[in-house]
Chain A
């Protein structure tokens, strides 16, 4: 299936959860805000939210400093 992550096309061989997707990018789930099809996904739902074909995901990854 095909999804779009941060504006780029990605092919997934199997359906992943949001948590698994973030893991694939090597990002700590504690440092992200995630939008799925323009809706914010609460952190506690990362593990239970499955991605579907043609989903659009935005992963906003925070870095330190301020």
Chain B
């Protein structure tokens, strides 16, 4: 029967077990993953199983690393996500967290859009580092994403998105993430996307400030493919700040909607 080991197809005897296979191929492997699940239990292998054998601490060669990185993915997910095109408008607390998660998921093409540079008050919730202060957010985040997962394509555009330039900047993407800070810009972007890209998946956020319960963060659906994540009420204002823990939950709800859309789950 045919199975896949570290992304190479091979034919093995029927009745071979997982640990027998490990002992034959990579006896020093201390991480054994079968069909996305890391296991300590030996089982009989089945036709089509996907197995990853990893020696902790060992840096694999380039041909293997891309696949070993995705060994804990549900099988089939990565192939679909590699074909995805996602644009992220705004790289603050929402957008930078969306970008990191989508890079880890293996979205094939991610466009990063922002006009601003990294400054110290970003660091309480945004995915930047002290040494990146003063750099453009697009370049700083692209560097980080390349360090996390160099096997996706990252495009950048330093631009302040307006009703006039939104269409040109966001054209051609399957999913558009609205990750702005100001309410007017959020509404503008969603309205422009609904006007120009009615069939695309548009994912915005509203009401992510404060330390309120994350259970109040909901997904509000508009039309066929537009989703707004948040409590819709709690805005950033004097006395109500933006916090890493709550903003990142909302950001990952946005990122997860993008993934589910690209997988055909919604």
Chain A residues near B (Cβ < 8 Å): 28, 30-33, 35, 38, 40, 42-43, 58, 60-66
Contacts and interface: CB of A to CB of B under 8 A. Distances in A.
A11 B204 CA distance: 31
Contact of A65 (B191, B198, B204, B236): B236
A40 B183 CA distance: 18
Contact of B187 (A35, A58, A62): A62
Given A60-B228, A63-B235, A31 B183 contact: yes
B201 to A, nearest CB: 15
Given A35-B223, A38-B223, A65 B233 contact: no
Contact of B181 (A28, A38, A60, A65): A65
B234 A65 contact: yes
B205 A66 contact: yes
Nearest to A39: B223
Interface of B: 90, 92-95, 179-184, 186-188, 190-191, 194-195, 198, 204-209, 220, 222-223, 228, 230, 232-237, 242, 247
Contact of B220 (A28, A32, A42, A60): A60
B234 A63 contact: yes
A43 B182 CA distance: 18
A66 B222 contact: no
B194 A63 contact: no
A35 B195 CA distance: 12
Contacts of B179: 66
Contacts, number: 85
A57 B13 CA distance: 64
A60 B234 contact: no
Contacts of B204: 62
Nearest to A35: B222
Contacts of A31: 183-184, 186-187
B92 A66 contact: yes
Closest 8 CB pairs of A and B: A65-B236, A63-B235, A65-B209, A62-B186, A66-B94, A31-B183, A62-B183, A64-B183
A65 B222 contact: no
Contacts of B207: 63, 65
Contacts of A63: 183, 206-207, 209, 230, 232-235
20 contacts: A28-B183, A28-B184, A31-B183, A33-B187, A35-B223, A40-B195, A40-B223, A60-B206, A60-B228, A61-B206, A62-B190, A63-B207, A63-B232, A64-B183, A64-B235, A64-B236, A65-B181, A65-B242, A66-B93, A66-B95
